[in-house]
């Protein structure tokens, strides 16, 4: 086999194979069509939980969760995974805006702007992306009666943003404040400039803006740090004294990168990096179209940096993850899939068009990569999972409490020190741990059985009849068939049935119908699917060493491909020995 010297992994959060096929058939994804036709492709079955951290870590280590999954924000070390094999072989990897759960370990490796999942702003974020307005009543507060996602107190499933700030009227015009995270706010002045324009002043810089115009990137400094910011004037009515102004996220990623000088070169060459856009990609949200502007900027920045790092800085592997597509699924899929309780045939086209646009944006940048990559570079387009619509929220700690396994406080949260069984936030919400401080070793099997009883007898009366809440549940000693083992995993592993999602509500229900339209992936069994979408991932290789036109069949009844095998295939393309990897190279896709 001819080995490729370079691998460019464009990871896409939540890219759904069924929708890729739908849009390819429509003819609106010509570059992804070419990428697949001239390369090798297959679907991938995610591991439990069907989360980006779990599955992109498995992908890029080439190892199953039992070997490489420690927990969110906790990188594996010493397992001789793919990145460690590269370091031993003298090859360098660049992880750019990749999940923080996997950190490269080689002295020459590069880690830049890892996707932040911790509490509060990312260390590199100086100021959040914001909407400034003279009329904040355009965005009335919507009471939230339920929380979906893991941990269940979060709002992961809704991709909600709380980033709107007032523009104050003054005698000399208008004033806004950029809310820096770790220092005093920075003032922005706005003054009328003719009939339909505004002059924006930031420090010593001034720019004139009309409606729908973006400013250039402007320097923005505090005593602690310096970054760059740009603005878009969304609305201006001088008679009503109405202004809506978008302000980009402000970041300083170089100091926290593993190679600050290299990071500065990327920023100087390609512009400032943003990890978040200002407005959700939700057609029911005012100015949602701007999410496509900012997402395109981010994705083109990532593509440009990938080629710079591979071609000019002599890295052998580049990996990133782009998240717009997953966001459009969370906000729109429930309105598009006929099996969703929120589906409306009258509204389907409007929501589906938002998803389609996110796929077309991705396709545009795939085309740029195909046109510009060198002959020695294999492009890998891959997703970690898909999405399927939500139907019921499930409060796992309340369910365990009903079986006298978990103690709850007045807010319904688990009190770990008084609970025989609990879940850990960092492990993805589908592993139940037994409290060794309360349960003697001799009683562990009994408590495991009690947990299984709580899970396997959990049913709900649905309009179509009785439905099981949990699709599968196994004890730790039986979980190796699902890719789980080792000291980090829980005592019981489970996955929810299709349509069931982590969550809690104000009533304190153990299970309840969701009241807001949404779609999820993480909690539901990896094989979850409808006729419209699925939880499956997607994998396309294109380049030297890949068999053109190869299609590896994916059939749950005869054979499936897993995330770690995709990583092992990357290792083989890089000329590495794959013996320490759990995955096996997908040789049917290779020459």
CA 195-200-203 angle, 5° bins: 155
Please state, in angstroms and rounded to a whole number, the distance separating the CA atoms of residues 303 and 117: 23
Architecture of the domain made up of 392-513: 2-Layer Sandwich (3.30)
The ranges assigned to domains in the chain are: 6-121+253-390+533-589, 125-251, 392-513
Nearest to 351 by CA among 338, 362, 368, 367: 338
Other beta carbons less than 10 A from residue 336's beta carbon: 27
Tell me, what's the pLDDT at 4?
57
Q: Would you say the CATH fold of 392-513 matches that of 6-121+253-390+533-589?
A: no
Q: Are 191 and 173 in contact (CB under 8 A)?
A: yes
Please state, in angstroms and rounded to a whole number, the distance separating the CA atoms of residues 101 and 116: 9
Tell me, what's the pLDDT at 1?
40
Looking at domain 6-121+253-390+533-589, its CATH class is alpha beta
What the block records as the tokens of 292 is 């496509």
Tell me, what's the pLDDT at 339?
95
Strands 511-513, 392-394: pairing kind: antiparallel
pTM (2 d.p.): 0.96
Q: Are 275 and 301 in contact (CB under 8 A)?
A: no
The 3-class SS string of 464-525 reads CEEEECEEEEEEHHHHHHHCCCCCCCCCEEEEECCCEEEEEECCCCCEEECCCCCEECCCEC
Other beta carbons less than 10 A from residue 110's beta carbon: 21
Contacts of 451 (CB under 8 A, 6+ apart): 400, 403, 405, 421, 432, 434, 473, 491, 492
Q: Sheet holding 242-247: strands in order across? A: 164-166, 130-133, 242-247, 231-237
pLDDT in tens, 489-535: 999 999 999 999 999 999 999 999 999 999 988 899 999 999 999 99
Tell me, what's the pLDDT at 559?
75
Q: Are 207 and 200 in contact (CB under 8 A)?
A: yes
- Which DSSP category does 590 fall into? B
Contacts of 22 (CB under 8 A, 6+ apart): none
Burial of 582 (0-12, 13-18, 19+ CB in 10 A): buried
Strands 93-96, 110-112: pairing kind: parallel
pLDDT in tens, 196-248: 999 999 999 999 999 999 999 999 988 878 999 999 999 999 999 999 999 99
Nearest to 530 by CA among 326, 347, 388: 388
Intervals of the chain under pLDDT 50: 1-2, 155-158
């Amino acid at each position: 086999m001819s080995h490729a010297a370079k691998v460019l992994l464009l990871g896409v959060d939540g890219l759904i194979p069924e929708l890729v096929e739908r849009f390819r058939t429509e003819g609106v994804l010509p570059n992804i069509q070419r990428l697949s036709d001239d390369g090798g492709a297959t679907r991938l079955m995610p591991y439990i939980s069907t989360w980006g951290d779990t599955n992109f870590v498995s992908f890029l280590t080439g190892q199953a969760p039992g070997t490489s999954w420690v927990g969110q924000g906790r990188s594996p070390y010493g397992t001789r995974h793919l990145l460690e094999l590269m370091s031993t072989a003298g090859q360098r990897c660049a992880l750019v805006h990749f999940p923080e759960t996997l950190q490269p370990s080689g002295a020459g490796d590069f880690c830049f702007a890892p996707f932040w999942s911790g509490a509060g702003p990312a260390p590199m974020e100086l100021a959040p992306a914001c909407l400034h307005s003279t009329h904040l009543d355009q965005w009335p507060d919507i009471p939230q009666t339920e929380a979906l996602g893991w941990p269940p107190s979060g709002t992961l499933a809704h991709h909600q943003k709380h980033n709107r700030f007032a523009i104050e009227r003054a005698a000399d015009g208008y004033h806004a404040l950029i809310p820096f995270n770790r220092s005093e706010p920075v003032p922005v002045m706005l003054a009328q400039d003719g009939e339909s324009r505004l002059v924006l002043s930031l420090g010593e810089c001034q720019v004139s803006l009309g409606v729908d115009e973006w400013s250039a990137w402007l320097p923005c400094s505090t005593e602690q740090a310096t970054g760059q910011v740009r603005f878009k004037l969304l609305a201006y009515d001088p008679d009503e004294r109405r202004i809506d102004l978008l302000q980009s996220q402000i970041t300083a990623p170089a100091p926290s990168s593993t190679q600050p000088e290299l990071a500065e070169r990327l920023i100087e060459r390609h512009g400032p990096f943003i990890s978040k856009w200002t407005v959700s990609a939700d057609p029911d949200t005012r100015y949602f179209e701007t999410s496509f502007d900012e997402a395109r900027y981010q994705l083109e920045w990532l593509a440009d940096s990938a080629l710079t790092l591979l071609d000019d800085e002599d890295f052998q592997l580049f990996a990133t993850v782009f998240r717009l597509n997953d966001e459009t699924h969370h906000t729109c899929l429930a309105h598009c899939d006929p099996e969703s309780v929120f589906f409306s045939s009258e509204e389907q086209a409007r929501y589906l068009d938002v998803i389609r646009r996110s796929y077309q944006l991705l396709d545009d940048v795939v085309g740029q990569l195909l046109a510009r990559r060198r002959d020695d570079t294999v492009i890998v387009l891959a997703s970690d999972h898909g999405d399927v619509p939500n139907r019921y929220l499930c409060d796992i700690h309340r369910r365990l409490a009903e079986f006298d396994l978990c103690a709850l406080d007045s807010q319904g949260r688990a009190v770990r020190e008084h609970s025989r069984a609990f879940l850990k936030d960092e492990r993805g919400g589908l592993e139940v741990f037994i409290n060794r401080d309360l349960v003697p070793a001799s009683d562990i099997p009994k408590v495991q059985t009690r947990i299984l009883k709580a899970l396997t007898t959990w049913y709900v009366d649905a309009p179509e009849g009785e439905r099981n809440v949990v699709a599968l549940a196994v004890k730790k000693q039986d979980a190796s068939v699902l890719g789980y083992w080792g000291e980090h995993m829980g005592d019981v592993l489970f996955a929810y049935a299709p349509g069931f999602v982590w969550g809690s509500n104000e009533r304190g229900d153990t299970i309840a119908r969701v009241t807001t339209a949404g779609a999820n992936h993480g909690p539901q069994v990896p094989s979850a699917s409808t006729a419209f979408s699925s939880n499956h991932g997607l994998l396309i290789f294109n380049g030297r060493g890949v068999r053109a036109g190869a299609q590896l069949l994916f059939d749950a009844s005869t054979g499936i491909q897993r995330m770690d095998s995709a990583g092992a295939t990357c290792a083989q393309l890089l000329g590495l020995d794959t013996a320490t990897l759990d995955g096996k190279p997908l040789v049917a896709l290779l020459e």
